[in-house]
Structure 1
Amino acid sequence: MRPVAAFILISILLASSVQARVLIVDPGDSSDAKTISAAVFKASPGDTIQIQPGRYPGAIIDRSLKIYGQEGVSIEGPLSINAPGCEIYDLKINTSRSDASLSLLSGDCQVIRCTISGEKAAVSSEGSNNTIANCSISSPAGIEIFAPDNRVLGCHIQGSGIGVRINQTSGCWVEDCTIAALQGVLIEDSDRNGVVNNTILTDGLGLVLTRSDGNVASGNNLSGAFVSGIDMLNSRFNDIAANKIEGGKVGISLRVTEHCNVTSNWCLGNERAGIYGNEASGLMLAENDLIENGNGILLSASADNIIRSNLASHNVYGISLRGSAKNLLQDNLMELNRYNLRIDDGDGADLSLQDYYDQDIDRSNMIDGRPIYYLVGKSGMNVPEDCAFLGLISCREISARNLTISNSSVGMLLVNSSGCRIQNSSIDLSEEGILLRASNDCIISDCRVRECNVGFDSRDSRGIQFVADHAQDCAAEGFRVDGSLNLLLLKCNSTASNSGISLHSSRLCRVQDCSAVRNAKEGLLLSLSHRCSLVGNQAASNDRGIALTGSNACALESNFAISNQKDGISIEQLSDAEVKGNNATNNGQGIFVQSSKRSKISGNVLCNNSRYGLRMSTSTSCNITGNEICSNQIAGINLVDCTDNFLYHNIIRDNIIQNAADNGNNHWDAGAEAGGNYWSDHEVVGDPGSVPRTIPAQGQDRYPFQHPGGWG
């Protein structure tokens, strides 16, 4: 036999004669070792250690072994695996130290059916390709993974901190686990990991991905009073699919996130949103079911996303785009939401107004079975009557008639549009009925809005006309105008709303022949709105009838302010108002003037009010003439801390307690030739007469009249 062949044959025979051993660990004398460390010392790679019931200190496993524990085995102290290919079965491991109870410092190890608890982390894996399967984990920080290709399979994990943490690694997999922790799974600075088919119960965050790309989360069931079910921050190219997320604040949160696919998820009963994106771009949100959330989908400050084939049902808001630009919506179905579609500029200040409304939304999107018409840059069109939401963005000469819209954030939205006309349409149960922003020369006529927050709203627009429109039961205002110029409200009506018609920071507007009845606050309100006219309106049975605040050079003429709880007409903190020919009767006060100057109050009827006909406070240089002030319960005229006002040619009669009172320095006549006022409680001869009428507590009408209207 040749020498080399003989050597090989001898080696084979020797190897076959060496078999793996089984070492028994037991505190008794009949075992191979009384401690795990002693058994490891005696063992060779490939041997098996069987541990009998009892309590044992921790150990360091520095060679490749299989270790089995029987029922009743308890290891008190950390167990450290420093050799590759180890297999650990059926051990109960616990430590009171800050170290991990089980440390996997090498790779290709398996931990099967173990019960592991600790004061900090139960398991720490710093080796690659380890498997932790069918284990019960209980600790504040359950399993921490710092190396690639680890797997956590079928485990029950419970703790007050993080269930599974994957940090700065890749290729790890968490599957078929039940996790109850403040944070279920945390993936940090890690790529190409998977979290699949897990049940996660949390009051904090279910699955968190931070600065992590190319990960997969699918088939998970997340529930509890969580802040976010799935929370992504500064992450890209992740796939979130077929998860069920219910009962928290936000189902899926995508913050500063790019190019992620969020598909076929089921988000139910999340307080703020089913899917929420903030500063997100390039997202694909498709085929998700979004039911009974605050928002089905809410995008804030997000752009260039695709929202396709989602079902949003029974949410407060179906789909919301807030401060977000250039998103694509196709084939979405919104049904039975309180407000189906919301598009606004949010808190955005980075883009122009029209950019926030520049969305690609076609008629394949449906609201309660009817299409959305969202037109951008169109002109000369007629909108079909089956429209469920109307958006006109940078449009010209668009007409819409006979539309019926309900349950929308804004029923009809006009932005940067001109020459458009909306006629004979109705909007119900929406936040705002018709909203115009930065639009010009549009006419809204014969439209009806009911049970909205604001009925008709014009902001930063010019030449808008509201004609014969009606608002009823609106929670805030029937009509609201902000920052607008040359606006006309003609023959409009606001009934039983919080406020009737209000103009704010607007100029040269006209409200004519309108009615504001039974509104909880003001019937008509002008605030910081200058050179406006209110003519021929009726304000009845409101808290206050007509109120002007900080609005200079306005004209109130031929209005009826009757049966209002407080003031029929009030003008406050303004100058140069002209209040002429109005009827303010059966109110708390007829006209109330405060902190105003150079106003003219003439030809008004101020009678049968429960307090005063005319009450003025801290006002100066006003002219009060030609008014009939009668049968008011406290006084006809009451001036408090007023100076240099002229009051003459007024009929002041039959007021219950007193006809007038004045504690300031005012003028109650216009001199001997023009004369003063007619007083029912002061008899004189002549028009004017020469017997002065004293005004309590200060003041005097030197030339009162004998006859009402005796001045000709």
Structure 2
Amino acid sequence: MALVAIGCGIVVNAVASDSTVSSAVIYVPDDYATIQGAVNNAAEGDTIIVRDGTYPESVKVNKRLTIRSENGPANTIVVGKPNDHVLSVTADHVSIKGLTVKNATGYNRVGMYVHANYCNITDNTALNNPYGFFLSESNKNTLINNIASDNLGDGIYLNYSNSNTISNNTVLKSSYRSGIRLYSSHNNTVRNNNVSNNTYGIRLSGSHNNTIEKNNVQSSTYDGFYLFYSNDNSFVDNTASQNNYDGFFINASYNNTLINNVANANNYDGFGLELVNNHTLINNRVNSNNKSGISLTSSNRNLLEGNVASLNTEMGFYLLSSASNSLAGNKASANKKVGIQLEKSGNSTLTDNMMEENYYNFGVTGDSLPYFYHDIDASNRVDGKPIYYWIDQQEREIPKDAGFVGIIDSLNITARDLTLTKNSVGLLLAYSVGTWIKNVTVSNTDDGISSLASSYSIIANNNISNNDWGINMLSSDYNFLFENTITKNQLGILLGYSNNNTLQRNNISNNWEGLSLLNSRDNLVFTNNFINSSAHSTNSATIWNSVLEMTYIYNGERYTNFMGNYWPKYIREDLGSFINQDTDGDGIGDALTPYTLPTGLGTDKDYYPLMQPYENYIYVIADE
């Protein structure tokens, strides 16, 4: 009661405050045989203590109460009735602690259903229900130290629920849904949960401004962490490992931040970002994933900084059809394909990235000029050597310490006396004119020298070996390839859609295929050695000999004739007897027996094949 002074008298206020009412403690089954009976008879603020036992009932809590077991969830089990939730809460400020809720049946039924605010759900177990714990339109609740196991749907599901805390829970074996799922739920904290062997680990759909931190997600059927149409979320200090798809998969989302996370040994990518913009990935570690460490597809304006990607089966960092991304201070090591690969991705900025001991360290590919416009400075290194990626430069020479060379949209650049190895492209030449590439050694790359839409280049005296493709020229015209050694590549030289190029005195040997021409016209190929290397022509018109007579000394004698190429297969024996195809001894095969390339339609013929490698012919000026 309260005393109130009115004038000179004193009266008693008959309205008592809630604080003067003491709460009761009710025991089940001592005071009431069932939990529901205790709830029905309890007053607001009472505590119900449930002793050990199994209680076959569906409990509905519609007033502010504390319900807890006497000895924990292993000893206090509530088994739901058919087609109903096991325990549902529809009042604010309810506390449920230490119960097992199991065996709910019926469509969308739940072990513990909450449609309320400011509730504490602690130390409970939800077992073998369609859903484990379900918060519907519920705000500012806490779920702490609960176990959700062997439920068909989501272990913990927040539906249109905001500002809740989900922490220190164990969620496993959700057969058809996610361990923890947020749908249209915002400003929640999901912290320090162990989530394993679910269909998805932690899944956000249409959910924004959530904090997801220090969770351990593993062995999901699909992705460990999955975001769809979810923006402005923060992922910090989480671990995703051994999931059957990506460790983290983010799709159609914006402005999420991922810091200090670990994604290891996932069957797809460590981080897979698709159709996302303005994400920040800082200091994450992605190791031993079965595809790429961090992969961006059709994703723009993202920042990747200080991340480490190692021992991934494909790429360390892979950008596909993605624009205006920034990579700074990342490290890619011992990845089995490429450390950092930019594919059809324009306007990237790369600084201080380290690539080392990858199968290929670095690569840039594309089919139009915008895909090659990047800001890549020499602070980026491959196996300790700087990347020189020059755009719109003129009359300059590449420094001798280059580890990777890119010459883009430039004029009269010189690259000489370099050793380039272990990149997806050794030397990249795109949309440039008048480049001189001389005395460069290129090995163990995908493309040794790649020329795209580049003209009037001189490629001479280079040693190109042990690459997939030695020289790859696409849409490149009027180039001169001279005295290169091209050996032990899968394909020595490819000319695709490339016209009016000249190949002279190149030693093309021991390649799986020496020269391939595709849809190319008026290329001039003469005085080259094709040793254990075939040539293939498809829909191309090629001249296989000099267009003018040449003067040369052969076997001490001086001759003048047209000159083709050296094809060891042209020198034949028939039944053990040598067939003389050079009856005049001038070192040129007889015109009546040209060399016909073994591929194509039989229309590619060298009418003046050399009888010996070109080194055996001494060329002289005609008037000497």
**Does the 8 A contact of 1:562 with 1:584 survive in 2?**
no
In 2, Cα distance between the equivalents of 1:34 and 1:337?
A: 69
In 1, Cα distance between the equivalents of 2:184 and 2:319?
A: 29
Unaligned runs of 5+ in 1: 537-554, 569-579, 607-712
Identical counterparts, % of pairs: 24
Q: Deviations over 1:251-273 (max 9, x none)?
A: 11111111110111000011221
Q: Deviations over 1:571-604 (max 9, x none)?
A: xxxxxxxxx95379999x988799668x999788
Residues 592/379 of structure 1: CA separation in 2 closer, same or farther (3 Å cut): closer
Q: Find the residue that maps to 1:295 and give its secondary structure.
A: coil
Question: Is residue 133 from structure 1 mapped to residue 144 from structure 2 by the alignment?
Answer: yes
Q: Corresponding residue for 1:198? A: 215
In 1, Cα distance between the equivalents of 2:46 and 2:122?
A: 17
The letter of the residue matching 2:188 is C
In 1, Cα distance between the equivalents of 2:76 and 2:605?
A: 98
Residues 556/162 of structure 1: CA separation in 2 closer, same or farther (3 Å cut): farther
Q: Corresponding residue for 1:662? A: none
**Does the 8 A contact of 1:329 with 1:362 survive in 2?**
yes
Q: Corresponding residue for 2:53? A: 54
Q: Corresponding residue for 2:67? A: 67
Residues 604/452 of structure 1: CA separation in 2 closer, same or farther (3 Å cut): closer
In 2, Cα distance between the equivalents of 1:232 and 1:324?
A: 19
**Does the 8 A contact of 2:527 with 2:610 survive in 1?**
no
In 2, Cα distance between the equivalents of 1:355 and 1:2?
A: 82
Q: Corresponding residue for 1:641? A: none
TM-score, with structure 2 as normaliser: 0.85
Q: Corresponding residue for 2:248? A: 230
Tell me which of 267, 282, 285 is aligned to 2:286: 267
Q: Deviations over 1:586-626 (max 9, x none)?
A: 99x988799668x99978899xxxxxxxxxxxxxxxxxxxx
Question: Is residue 482 from structure 1 mapped to residue 496 from structure 2 by the alignment?
Answer: yes
Q: What are the residue-to-residue correspondences of 1:339-488 with 2, within 5 Å?
A: 339-345=360-366, 353-475=368-490, 477-488=491-502
Q: CA deviation at 1:15?
A: 6.2
Residues 510/229 of structure 1: CA separation in 2 closer, same or farther (3 Å cut): same
**Does the 8 A contact of 1:585 with 1:605 survive in 2?**
no
The letter of the residue matching 1:182 is T
Q: Find the residue that maps to 2:40 and give its secondary structure.
A: helix
Residues 211/92 of structure 1: CA separation in 2 closer, same or farther (3 Å cut): same
Q: Deviations over 1:530-576 (max 9, x none)?
A: 1423459xxxxxxxxxxxxxxxxxx99544433479999xxxxxxxx
Question: Is residue 298 from structure 1 mapped to residue 322 from structure 2 by the alignment?
Answer: no
Question: Is residue 257 from structure 1 mapped to residue 268 from structure 2 by the alignment?
Answer: no
The letter of the residue matching 2:408 is I
Q: What are the residue-to-residue correspondences of 1:315-354 with 2, within 5 Å?
A: 315=335, 316-345=337-366, 353-354=368-369
TM-score, with structure 1 as normaliser: 0.74
Q: Find the residue that maps to 2:155 and give its secondary structure.
A: strand
Q: Find the residue that maps to 1:132 and give its secondary structure.
A: strand
In 1, Cα distance between the equivalents of 2:570 and 2:281?
A: 56
**Does the 8 A contact of 1:199 with 1:220 survive in 2?**
yes
Question: Is residue 175 from structure 1 mapped to residue 191 from structure 2 by the alignment?
Answer: yes
**Does the 8 A contact of 2:537 with 2:600 survive in 1?**
no
Question: Is residue 312 from structure 1 mapped to residue 332 from structure 2 by the alignment?
Answer: yes
The letter of the residue matching 1:135 is N
In 2, Cα distance between the equivalents of 1:439 and 1:591?
A: 28
Tell me which of 208, 222, 234 is aligned to 1:216: 234
Q: Find the residue that maps to 1:205 and give its secondary structure.
A: coil
Q: Corresponding residue for 1:121? A: 131
Q: CA deviation at 1:480?
A: 1.2
Question: Is residue 83 from structure 1 mapped to residue 81 from structure 2 by the alignment?
Answer: no
Residues 371/602 of structure 1: CA separation in 2 closer, same or farther (3 Å cut): closer
In 2, Cα distance between the equivalents of 1:373 and 1:213?
A: 37
In 2, Cα distance between the equivalents of 1:89 and 1:79?
A: 12
Q: Deviations over 1:192-217 (max 9, x none)?
A: 00110011012311111111110011
**Does the 8 A contact of 1:75 with 1:93 survive in 2?**
yes
In 1, Cα distance between the equivalents of 2:270 and 2:572?
A: 49
In 2, Cα distance between the equivalents of 1:214 and 1:603?
A: 70
In 1, Cα distance between the equivalents of 2:203 and 2:242?
A: 17
Question: Is residue 525 from structure 1 mapped to residue 536 from structure 2 by the alignment?
Answer: yes
In 1, Cα distance between the equivalents of 2:416 and 2:166?
A: 61
The letter of the residue matching 1:79 is L
Question: Is residue 149 from structure 1 mapped to residue 163 from structure 2 by the alignment?
Answer: yes
In 2, Cα distance between the equivalents of 1:430 and 1:307?
A: 23
In 2, Cα distance between the equivalents of 1:468 and 1:364?
A: 34
Structure possessing the higher relative contact order (Cα contacts under 8 Å, 6 or more residues apart): 2
**Does the 8 A contact of 1:321 with 1:344 survive in 2?**
yes
In 1, Cα distance between the equivalents of 2:567 and 2:512?
A: 17
Residues 585/177 of structure 1: CA separation in 2 closer, same or farther (3 Å cut): farther
Unaligned runs of 5+ in 2: 81-85, 548-560, 575-586, 612-624
| Corresponding pairs, count | 560
Q: Find the residue that maps to 2:521 and give its secondary structure.
A: coil
Residues 65/532 of structure 1: CA separation in 2 closer, same or farther (3 Å cut): same
In 2, Cα distance between the equivalents of 1:491 and 1:581?
A: 15
The structure with the largest alpha-carbon Rg is 1
